[in-house]
Amino acid sequence: MALPRGAKRRASEVLERLRKEYPEPYCFLHHETPFQLLTAVILSAQTTDAQVNRVTPALFAKCPTPRALAAAPRKTIERLVFTTGFYREKAKRIQGAAAMIGERFGGEVPRSMSELMELPGVARKTANVVQSYAFGQSDGICVDTHVKRLAFRLGLTRDEGPEGVEKDLMRLYPRDHYEDVPFYFISHGRSVCAAKKPACSRCFLTDLCPKRGVISST
């Protein structure tokens, strides 16, 4: 599918302005090891990063390694992650990932996209986050709901699915920007470009933005 008209010009200007407005990129999920980050990202599905950060200190204190997490009683893990929602499935996934890391990868979180995506609970978005913030590399651009929404509204993609959006963003930005794009798009999505009523009146991108799909704004 062709990129929207003017997408390449807008893409570079959008990122330049976002960099001036927001701080240097950092990971929204608190962690000290690649395994902790992987676990936190799996838990972040359909909940907030803030809620995950409230849960993980007790979880990581109880289960600091893949072996410890895999061996813990399932009920204990479910209790620790209960407030993140879908706690039974999430407990199953993080324990499954921990077990596979111990059995297949020598206790170390794998670095490659293909191996990361073999782990239970890990799709491409999760793998991109782990690659970026645990290993300082990225084979792609993490597309969450904020990134998907902003890319469409800003006329950087015609696609509304995460895979298509990622492909288009990878066409627009060089590899050394792959880690920065999600951080800045998410930051702007949280502070200005909300899902229901974006604050277009105070947005510093308004002259660049086609506002695709925007029904009402403030």
**Contact predicate 157/168, CB 8 Å:** yes
Is residue 62 annotated as part of the catalytic site, yes or no?
Answer: no
**Contact predicate 160/152, CB 8 Å:** yes
Residue with tokens 């986050």: 129
Q: Which pairs from 57-62 meet CB under 8 Å and 24+ separation? A: 57/30, 60/32, 60/36
Q: Which of 90, 125, 168, 180 is catalytic?
A: 125
Query: What spatial distance separates the first Cα and last Cα of the chain, rounded to whole Å?
Result: 32
If phi > 0 it is left, if psi is from -120 to 50 it is alpha, else beta; for residue 168 that is alpha
d(CA 93, CA 187): 28
d(CA 162, CA 87): 24
Q: Which of 49, 92, 139, 144 is catalytic?
A: 144
Is residue 125 annotated as part of the catalytic site, yes or no?
Answer: yes
Question: What DSSP assignment string belongs to 93-147?
Answer: HHHHHHHHHHHHSTTS---SHHHHTTSTT--HHHHHHHHHHHHS--SS----HHH
Q: Return the active site residues.
A: 125, 144
